[in-house]
Amino acid sequence: MNEPNPANEPANEAAEAAPAAVAAPAGMVRTTLRSLLRSGPATAGLVLVAVHVLIAVLAPLLTPYAPTANAPDSALLGPSAAHWAGTDALGRDVLARVLYGGRYALMVSFAATACAVALGTVVGCAAALKGGWLDDLVMRVLDAVLAIPPILALLVVVTVLGAGPAVIVLAVTIVYAPQVVRVVRAAAMGVAPLDYVTAARARGERTLSILVREVLPNIADVVSVEFAMRASWVVLLISSLSFLGFGANPPTPDWGLMISENRTAMTVVPWASLAPIIALATLVLGLNLSADGLAKAWGVDRVKEAR
Amino acid sequence: MSTGQAPHTGTDPHTGTDAWKGGGMYLREVPVKVENLSVAYRSGGRDITVADNVSFEVEAGRTLAVVGESGSGKSTVAGTLLGHLRHGSRITSGSVEVAGRDVFSLGGRDLRALRARDVAMVGQNAGNALTPSMRVGTQLEEALMARVPARAERRAEARTLLEKVGLPEPDRIGRRYPHQLSGGQQQRVAIAMALAARPRVLVLDEPTTALDVVTQARILDLVAGLSAELHLATVLVSHDLGVVARMADEAVVMREGAVVEAAPAADLFTAPRHPYTRRLLASVPRVSDAGLAEVGEDGTRTVRDRAPVPEEAPEAVSLEDVVVQYGRSRAVDGVSLGLRRGEVLALVGESGSGKSTLAWSLAGLRAPASGRMRLHGEQEGDLAAGARKRPPELRRRIQLAFQNADTSLNPRRIAREAVRRPLRFFGLASRSDADTRARGLIEDVALAPALSDRLPQQLSGGQRQRVGIARALAAGPDVVVADEITTALDVSVQASVLALLDDLRTERDLAFVFISHDLAVVRGIADRVAVMKDGRVVEEGPVGAVFTGPNHPYTRRLMEAVLEPDAAGGAGLGHGAADRTDRTEGAARADSAADAAGEGGGGSVASGSGAAEGTAEGEWIDLGGGHRIRRGGE
């Protein structure tokens, strides 16, 4: 994947219609993009995710209100020209809190997903490459971890260690890595017996080197799709934690927390809980659509890989 | 089926009338008639022609071979006989008539009827054609559904079919699942299924390419017998000219979608007219060649002299009583061999004979359970340890080249990168130097330097194989283990890769362990041959001595199974026609016995052969000059 490869673009034009997915790396990015943009749902998904990221980054420019500024005199207002989505029980602008609210969710989710997928990929590849007792041991331990419901495991960890972002990232990594391991291991098992990996083994390359040079570039598609998939689950999980009061601490603007805070005033100021719900739903939807689009563009069969 | 279906009885009332309408000039109906057929697919906004104005006819009881190298469009043409086109392809001109009907004018229902009754196909890989979760007997009965409505009759008919294709104990075989059968048995079941509908046309697409020579000979005998008996019009697609010589009455040679020559098979092999046919024929290695054949542009053939390995050549590798185990079964069972610098040692044997396992062991991918394996040279080295335990210097000096060009290179790395890695890994070139060196090596294997920037997908099979060889050479080895490296290549490409190996051997004083099941290739490239069976060496000697005999019975069987493209119909080593009929009958029996023996899996085969040899364990008949034969029959 890291091979800069500018000179050979037209080389396979003469050759018979090579499948798009196996074209040159530079060409692969282009064909992937083209395939994604051609599919309506995938484009919508990418746009949704991009808009969420942009809003999170540009939040201070989009609203004049501070998300944590209390204003007791203007509490529980409906939508108006001054407050587009109204205010909550403490008089904070709902729109401002929604715009800022993506920051925590996106940052923690991204960090947690990245860690889970990275750890899962390394362990999955190692299990597939080494095989034998290591593979058996890893898989049995993972089966045990998988048997524990994620939210329960998270609640235990957070109760014991406190609810800082670092703890949540760590906990999500531990909870989700096993599922990533299973998928990546299945993909790597397909690559491990191929002759170029055998050649590297015969050369006496170290496992890490074989993994990085020979195996990873060939399962990068699976890993990317896995990342997009897991991200949407992790966003939901982290928001659930906040909703239950174990994630973000008040007065941090966070969607899960907002829904929890405002659900008692649902009949008075419905937008105070509806707005974060819409934000959360669109982000998860966007991530799911992107994952599906990527999977299609690269021909990754998620059902098969997760076997 | 056992009663034999009378030909031309007109099982379908309207086939006869259609034939009359189609071309009244024929007195007899021609089951297969392809006229000016062109097939194309669209890619990148352009039409790419796969088949170009192809015409041929096959009469009942005759076999037509469609011959060509990969990409010649031969399989596309075969598919059209069943009304099948690859996705995105379409007919641009011409027609295909099978059993009197224009295949591509038929609708879904009629087409299914045609495929159910009139035409059947056997593909290259029968294992993929059978449903894995269904007993083969049940699958066969399903194929009979259209013709035989009564269940009990169907069962009996299925049994007869299995018997007919020469499977022993049809009742037991019928209850098996496909994975419980050997490759040869699977192919037989596939043929039985094709015959179930009593078709008039049989299409065979590379029916024996995936099988080893001995099994191939049996299957071909079977097909030849059946199509004569049932009066089938057979279309055989093959790249193997030996198979064609053995089977075909007529042959059509295809190149880049077009027919370059069509002639009766006997004429084609004795007096090929088109230069391409001549070149193709000349490129096929023969067991009678005393060296590698070199083929000129016009198809002239000269046999390159083999430079003998000098007497004083130092020993490169020695094996003593090597045993390699998989679990409890012995894949390699007490092999002792030696290899000198500049020498090519060929390991020959059927699949499962342990030759590849031995190669992997040499390369350090599977440590032997016992025995001595040493690398000689300036520095002695013990090869008994796995690759990772060997010192780098030792690893560097033994390199491996692979059979499958599709998987031997990392699809995400350009050719130069693949060659560069061993240079860097073994510290043979500095960072700045490595690229130039890699480019040089790619030129050394006779590839254009521009190709060094290509990804494997952008190279042809032969080019990829050369990159694989360059990668092995990059480490600067003393010994190269080449595992079936030319098996998957077309004959002309194969010839050039073999010539390259021979050049490299003399230029670099390399020793090769050359693994192959193709005796003709071995004859050309090797200095010495070791024939392996069930993990043991049964015969070993200089290539000339082994090929002139006397031989171990197993070696003789391998040699007899070799098919050569000549007018005599491909009998190996100049056996006459009388000898062949003999063989055909004998083969059916030997076949059943061998298939039955093969059922028990590798372990029991090994122990069985051990028992057969009885007390003669480890005893050799020495014929002098290094030629020795293991005592005891098969």
Chain B positions in Cβ-Cβ contact with residue A25 (cut-off 8 Å): 412
For chain A, say whether B453 makes contact (Cβ under 8 Å): yes
B581: pLDDT strictly greater than 60:
no
- Of A103-107, B78-82, B307-311, B520-524, least confident by mean pLDDT is B307-311
- Per-residue confidence of chain A (307 residues) as pLDDT tens digits? 343 443 333 333 333 333 333 334 556 677 777 777 777 788 888 899 999 999 888 888 887 777 877 777 777 777 787 777 777 777 788 888 888 888 888 888 999 999 999 999 999 998 998 888 889 999 999 988 889 888 888 888 888 888 788 888 988 898 889 999 999 999 999 888 888 999 998 888 888 899 988 998 889 888 888 898 889 899 998 888 888 888 777 888 888 888 888 888 888 888 888 888 999 999 999 998 988 888 877 766 544 444 3
Read off the tokens for B179. Answer: 């994975």
Whether A202 and B387 lie within 8 Å, measured CB to CB? yes
Q: Which residues of A201-226 are buried (b: 16+ CB within 10 A; e: fewer)?
A: bbbbbeeeebbebbbbbbbbbbbbbb
Chain B positions in Cβ-Cβ contact with residue A10 (cut-off 8 Å): none
> So what's the pLDDT on residue A283?
92
Taking all residues of chain B, what is their mean pLDDT, rounded to a whole number? 81
> So what's the pLDDT on residue B567?
57
B401: pLDDT strictly greater than 70:
yes
- Of A289-303, B95-109, B273-287, B528-542, least confident by mean pLDDT is A289-303
Backbone φ, ψ for residue B544 (5° rounding)? -65, -45
The pLDDT tens digits for A217-254 are 889 888 888 898 889 899 998 888 888 888 777 888 88
Chain B positions in Cβ-Cβ contact with residue A23 (cut-off 8 Å): 457
The structural domains of chain B, with segments of one domain joined by +, span: 13-283, 315-563+600-630
For residue A196, give the nearest of B390, B408, B425 by CB distance.
B408
Over range B605-613, report the average pLDDT.
37
Whether A17 and B43 lie within 8 Å, measured CB to CB? yes
Read off the tokens for B419. Answer: 């060659």
> Rounded to whole angstroms, how far apart are CA atoms A41 and A189?
31
For residue B412, give the nearest of A17, A18, A217 by CB distance.
A217
For residue B410, give the nearest of A11, A18, A196 by CB distance.
A196
B218: pLDDT strictly greater than 60:
yes
List, as one string, the DSSP characters of B494-560: HHHHHHHHHHHHHHHT-EEEEEES-HHHHHHH-SEEEEEETTEEEEEEEHHHHHHS---HHHHHHHH
Q: Which of 3.40.50.1820, 3.40.50.300, 3.50.50.60, 3.40.50.2300 would CATH assign to domain B315-563+600-630?
A: 3.40.50.300
Angle at A121 between CA A120 and CA A122, to 5 degrees: 95
For residue A202, give the nearest of B364, B410, B421 by CB distance.
B364
B194: pLDDT strictly greater than 60:
yes
Higher pLDDT, B322 or B569: B322
Alpha helices in B205-270 (DSSP H): 213-230, 241-247, 265-270
For chain A, say whether B470 makes contact (Cβ under 8 Å): no
How far away is chain A from the Cα of B374, in angstroms, using its nearest Cα?
17
Residue among B466, B551, B536 nearest B322 (CA): B536
> Which amino acid is it at B512?
F
> So what's the pLDDT on residue B203?
92
For chain B, say whether A8 makes contact (Cβ under 8 Å): yes
For residue B363, give the nearest of A13, A25, A202 by CB distance.
A202
List, as one string, the DSSP characters of B561-604: T----STT---GGG--HHHHHHHHHHHHHHHHHHHHHHTT-HHH
Position of tokens 């010994």?
B479
Q: Is B353 exposed, middle or buried (0-12, 13-18, 19+ CB in 10 A)?
A: buried
The pLDDT tens digits for B622-632 are 887 788 888 87
For chain B, say whether A208 makes contact (Cβ under 8 Å): no
Overall residue count recorded for chain A in this entry: 307
Q: Which of A3, A194, A196, A218 to mutate to test the interface with B (most CBs of B within 10 A)?
A: A196
Whether B395 and A204 lie within 8 Å, measured CB to CB? yes
Class of domain A38-66+82-305: mainly alpha
> So what's the pLDDT on residue B107?
83
Nearest CA in chain A to B475: A203
> Which amino acid is it at B153?
E
Higher pLDDT, B344 or A266: B344
Higher pLDDT, B327 or B269: B269
Q: Do B82 and B151 meet the contact criterion of CB atoms below 8 Å apart?
A: no
B584: pLDDT strictly greater than 80:
no
Q: Which of A2, A3, A195, A209 to mutate to test the interface with B (most CBs of B within 10 A)?
A: A195
Interface of A with B in 252-291 (CB under 8 A): none
Whether A15 and B404 lie within 8 Å, measured CB to CB? no
Chain B positions in Cβ-Cβ contact with residue A11 (cut-off 8 Å): 453-454, 458
Higher pLDDT, B271 or B71: B271
For chain B, say whether A303 makes contact (Cβ under 8 Å): no
Q: Do A48 and B483 meet the contact criterion of CB atoms below 8 Å apart?
A: no
Residue among B559, B528, B554, B489 nearest B287 (CA): B559
Say yes or no: ipTM exceeds 0.85.
no
> Rounded to whole angstroms, how far apart are CA atoms B407 and B403?
9
> So what's the pLDDT on residue B579?
40
Q: Which of B365, B413, B435 to mutate to test the interface with A (most CBs of A within 10 A)?
A: B413
Q: Do A229 and A147 meet the contact criterion of CB atoms below 8 Å apart?
A: no
> So what's the pLDDT on residue B129?
82
Nearest CA in chain A to B45: A17
For residue B453, give the nearest of A7, A199, A217 by CB distance.
A7
For chain B, say whether A204 makes contact (Cβ under 8 Å): yes
- Of A251-260, B438-447, B476-485, B529-538, least confident by mean pLDDT is A251-260
For chain A, say whether B39 makes contact (Cβ under 8 Å): no
Q: Which residues of B392-412 are buried (b: 16+ CB within 10 A; e: fewer)?
A: eebbbbbbbbbbbbebbbbeb
Nearest CA in chain A to B42: A17
Class of domain B13-283: alpha beta
B4: pLDDT strictly greater than 60:
no
In chain B, % of residues over pLDDT 70: 87
The structural domains of chain A, with segments of one domain joined by +, span: 38-66+82-305
For chain B, say whether A191 makes contact (Cβ under 8 Å): no
Q: Which of B43, B412, B481 to mutate to test the interface with A (most CBs of A within 10 A)?
A: B412
How far away is chain B from the Cα of A29, in angstroms, using its nearest Cα?
13
The pLDDT tens digits for B402-437 are 888 788 899 888 899 999 999 999 988 888 899 999
